[in-house]
Structure formats: structure tokens, C-alpha cells
Amino acid sequence: MLSYVLKRVLSSVPVMIVVAVVIFALLRLTPGDPAAVLAGNDATAEQLAKIRESLELDEPILVQLLTWFRNLLAGDLGESLLSGIPVVRMIGERVGPTLALAAGTISVTILVAIPMGIVAARRPGGVLDRMVMALSVLGFSVPIFVTGYVLIYLFALKLGWLPVQGYRPPGDGLWSFAQRLILPVLALSGVYVALVARITRSSIIEVLGEDYIRTARAKGAPERRILLRHALRNAAVPIVTIIGIGIASLITGVVVTESVFNLPGLGRLVVEAVLARDYPVIQGLILLFSFTYILINLVVDILYTVFDPRIRY
């Protein structure tokens, strides 16, 4: 297993290099000019040229790429072209809200969606199944910003139980931290709960038709044991896959949720950096996101072996 993990980690290096080169090239080919953002609306061509020179954006692209790679190897992602703040620090400051939101959403998803899927799968076509499916359709269909506004109106403005927006680190007090996450987590969970509940339901229904389930029933095993020990465990592979993809997409950008609840996370940082053509920040974030995907895929692959001992690497 260890050699497999090592091999996977090493094989991610060329992937990261390709991602880095592609992103670097794409950004340079995209219209837009950080110098124009810096100088403002009425800059003359001469002023823009001077700013480009001071930012070394007038260097040949290959030279810029090599400089960036050289700094990257030294652990330096460069500085924001706009604020001059190191990219690593900017990313570091924005990771907290994103991780907190992702952890909260995935926790709610697992706690709610899997039981919902099991309940629905127990009697396909029954009342509970139909209710779960209806809720899933609702979860998929209602846009997150609508859910967000409704939750804000209800719980923040009308009832006054929770704040409208913002983020506080846990060090400010656990309740202060948690109360600002409740509404965004609820708003965001709708989609993920719907997705995971449906996958759980269909996986379990499929597994319940297997011979070994019939054997367990013939042996007189209680239904609860059949569902939780035999069916759920064997249905876990697609569920874990979906949850893994969910975690990755939560970390790499939930811009709408972060905007509606004013969470200063990575999703907003990406959009801000792209709109301002802040090349070093975009490059740093895309690298981080690529690494996140690789890491999560690796963890998911390892988890397969836990749930299904037949899988060996």
C-alpha cells in the first residue's frame, strides 16, 4: 500500500507541471492586462507600458514562465500584482472559511443523506421513498442563492437567531464560529444531500438484489443488520466516490455561497483574481486546486480498499 501511495504521489508531479504550464499559457493568452487594472481607467499607453515594465510583464513569456518555475521550486508562489502581498499568505488567509464550510457541509451531508438514502431504499416506491425523492428534486432544483436569501430572511432578519453574514475563526469562540456557518452550510447542503441520498438509494437497491443478501435473509438476519452491515458496506464505493468529488468541488469553489454569506474563502479569491488578471494568485490557486483533486482521489482510492477488501493495489 505504501509503495502504491508513493507511486501515486510521484505520478502527480508531472500532472501538476502540465497544469502549471497550461494555466500559465492560458492566462497570457486571455485578453486583459493587470497594468490596466493597476493604473485605473484613464491611464495612457505610456503609463501602462511603464507599469508593465515595473511588474516585469514586458519580459518574453518563456522568461516569465521560467522565473515562475524557479521561484516555485523554492516554495515561492510570488506576490499579488495588485496588493503586493505574497500569494501563499493570501491563500493561507482564505483557506480557513473554505475548509470550515466544506467540513460542515460534508458532515451534514453524511449525517442526513445516507440515512435518507437507506430509508428510501428499504421500500422502493413507498411513501418514504417518494418523499426522499421529492426532497432530492427540491434540493437539486432550488438555486443556492434563493435558499440562502430565504434562510437569511427567516433566521437572521425575522427571528434574529443567527447573523446574516461573515466569518469568525474558532479562536473567537466556538459559538461565534459556528453560528456564522449554520446558514451557509444549510444552504449549500441541499444540493449535496440530494445527490448523495439518490446515489445511496440506488446503490443500496442494487445491492439488495444480490444473492448474498437473499442468503442473509434466508439465514434469518434482521433487516437492520442486512441494511447496515451487508448492503450499505457493499454499496459504499459509489457513495464514497461522490462524497470525494463533493469535497473537492467544495474546496475549489463555492463562489455563490461565499458571496451570499460574505465568507472570505477561496472561491471568492479565485473570482476576484481572475477579474483583476492577478496572474500569480490565479496560478497559485489552480495549483492548489489540482493538488487537492489529486489528494482527494488518492484518499478515495484508499478508502475503496477499506470498504471492499477485494480491491487491492
Partner 1 sequence: MTTQDRKTGPRRLLTGVAAAALSLVFVSAPASSETLRVVMQSGLRITDPIMTTAFITRDHGYMIYDTLLGVDSDFNIQPQMADWEVSDDDKTYTFTLRDDLKWHDGAAVTAEDAVASINRWAEIDSTAKPLMDMVDTIEIVDDKTFTVALKTPTTLLLAGLSKMSSRAPFIMPKRVAETPASQPIDEFTGSGPFVFVEDEFRPGVKVVYEKFEDYVPRDEPASWTAGGKDVKVDRVEWLTMPDQMTAVSALQSGEVDFIQQVPFDLLPLVENAPEITVDILDPLGAWTYFRMNWLHPPFDNKLVRQAAIAAVDQTAVMQALVGNPDYYQTCAAIMGCGNVNGDEYGRDWVVNAQLDKAKALLAEAGYDDTPVVIMAPTDLAMVVPQPIVIGDALRKAGFNVQMKMMDWQTLAAQQSNQDAPSQGGWNIFSTYSILATSGDPFGNTPLATDGRESWAGWPDVPEISALRIAYAKASSVDEQKQIAKKIQKIAVDEGVVGPLGQFRIPAAWNTQWSGFLESPITVFWNISKDG
Q: Please, which of residues 216-275 interact with partner 1 by CB under 8 A?
A: 259-262, 264, 268-269, 272, 275
The candidate with the shortest Cα–Cα distance to 139, out of 183, 205, 196, 179, is 196
What is the smallest separation between the CB atom of 199 and partner 1, expressed in angstroms? 30
Nearer to partner 1, 75 or 125 (CB): 75
What is the smallest separation between the CB atom of 306 and partner 1, expressed in angstroms? 27
Which residue from 19, 20, 27, 51 is in contact with partner 1, where contact means CB under 8 A?
Answer: 51
Nearer to partner 1, 47 or 297 (CB): 47
86 phi/psi in degrees, rounded to 5: -55, 140
136-165 positions binding partner 1, by CB under 8 A: 149, 152-153, 156-157, 160, 163-165
141 phi/psi in degrees, rounded to 5: -85, -35
Which residue from 38, 185, 196, 208 is in contact with partner 1, where contact means CB under 8 A?
Answer: 38
> Residues touching partner 1: how many (CB under 8 A)?
71
What is the smallest separation between the CB atom of 251 and partner 1, expressed in angstroms? 12
**Helix ranges restricted to H, 144-265:** 144-151, 174-208, 211-218, 223-225, 232-234, 236-252, 255-260
State the Rg of the chain over Cα: 24
Q: Candidates 48-56, 136-144, 245-253, 293-301 — which segment interacts with partner 1 by CB under 8 A?
A: 48-56
- Judge residue 2's burial from the number of C-beta atoms within 10 Å of its C-beta, 0-12 exposed, 13-18 middle, 19 or more buried: exposed
What is the smallest separation between the CB atom of 26 and partner 1, expressed in angstroms? 14
Nearer to partner 1, 111 or 275 (CB): 275
Nearer to partner 1, 94 or 230 (CB): 94
Nearer to partner 1, 47 or 241 (CB): 47
Kindly state whether residue 92 participates in binding partner 1, applying the rule CB under 8 A: yes
Kindly state whether residue 97 participates in binding partner 1, applying the rule CB under 8 A: yes
Which residue from 15, 17, 61, 85 is in contact with partner 1, where contact means CB under 8 A?
Answer: 85
Which residue from 5, 8, 47, 305 is in contact with partner 1, where contact means CB under 8 A?
Answer: 47
Nearer to partner 1, 246 or 280 (CB): 280
CA distance 183 to 147: 9
- Judge residue 187's burial from the number of C-beta atoms within 10 Å of its C-beta, 0-12 exposed, 13-18 middle, 19 or more buried: buried
168-197 positions binding partner 1, by CB under 8 A: 168-172
Nearer to partner 1, 149 or 313 (CB): 149
Kindly state whether residue 59 participates in binding partner 1, applying the rule CB under 8 A: no
The candidate with the shortest Cα–Cα distance to 286, out of 134, 73, 77, 106, is 77
Find out whether 188 and 148 touch, Cβ atoms under 8 Å: no
The candidate with the shortest Cα–Cα distance to 292, out of 237, 235, 234, 253, is 253
Kindly state whether residue 32 participates in binding partner 1, applying the rule CB under 8 A: yes
CA distance 95 to 235: 32
Look up residue 186 and give its amino acid.
Answer: L
CA distance 143 to 187: 9
